[in-house]
Chain A
């Protein structure tokens, strides 16, 4: 998210606080749906601003949101998305790369902080023993990072694509979807834990400072990709 989009996002977050409960629920569903649409982040925020002003005006007139948007929120959002310029496949790929780089940077920092080498390094530093700056990267760490990134991406897209389902579908299908999401989440957690526990064989070792520099490089690449956006 570049500076212009971030400022608009902040303003929209403030406006969002003024919505009543009913309108807030509908707005959240619409924004979730727009978030995974093939439009730029700036256009997402621009539409969000327009909708917020529209709904707040209606709220002031004591009009229901259905009187403004219509009964079918999904159809409305589809029309809005169709009226906006789509992002190119190249832009879509760069957006995806940006998300992946951000996730890797965050998970990389977490992995370094919770690694046993880091605990040993701190303990040795406190007790005055020889410091070992080598960090071992296991197969489990790499695989679990990949699984977490893929799962997070899937969950975000699933929630966005199905944001209107709770309103439009019957409780039976909602229950089925909740069971499915629960099973997938539970299964993924189990896979991640198993990978971390049993795939402990070291793939390679790296100096902790070089690992930090590598993560910093990934973070800088993410920021460059983030700021290129409209």
Chain B
């Protein structure tokens, strides 16, 4: 069964996926999400989601000096975060499959 929370957590899990690739910081995450097609995703938009991911133990954060200016808060994924990501991917595929089925069948019916 697809959890309803999944729909709300889509962006949250996309952030988790970006962090799983490599340690990164808020501004870089927002830039990457924009490159993937999430338009108008500012650093401030993802900040509350990063706090929630940290609170749930899916990521850890650490401040590090930056050669270019103020300190940066680097995020890295935890084993619990990796597990959460696997669950999300499985649920997402289930949802994707169900949606495709509905549209595919609907398409065929429309043709008749």
Residues of A whose CB lies within 8 Å of any CB of B are 15, 47, 50-54, 56-58, 60, 67-70, 76, 79-80, 82-85
Contacts and interface: CB of A to CB of B under 8 A. Distances in A.
B42 A83 contact: no
B7 interface: no
Contacts of A70: 42, 44-45
A79 B45 CA distance: 9
A54 B52 contact: no
A83 B70 contact: no
A82 B48 CA distance: 8
Interface band, chain B: 10 to 19
B42 A50 contact: no
Contacts of B42: 67-70
A10 B44 CA distance: 24
Given A53-B70, A60-B69, A69-B42, A85 B47 contact: no
A83 B43 contact: no
Nearest to A65: B44
A56 B69 contact: yes
Contacts of B73: 50, 53
Nearest to B56: A83
A56 B45 CA distance: 17
Contact of A80 (B51, B68, B72): B51
Contact of A79 (B27, B43, B48): B48
A83 B44 contact: no
Given A50-B47, A83-B55, 8 more contacts: A51-B47, A53-B70, A67-B42, A70-B42, A76-B44, A76-B48, A80-B47, A83-B52
Nearest to B30: A68
B83 interface: no
The 4 closest A-B pairs by CB, nearest first: A69-B44, A83-B51, A79-B48, A56-B70
Contacts of B81: none
B44 A68 contact: yes
A19 to B, nearest CB: 11
Nearest to A70: B44
Contact of A53 (B48, B51, B55, B71): B71
Interface string B11-33: 00000000000000011000000
B85 interface: no
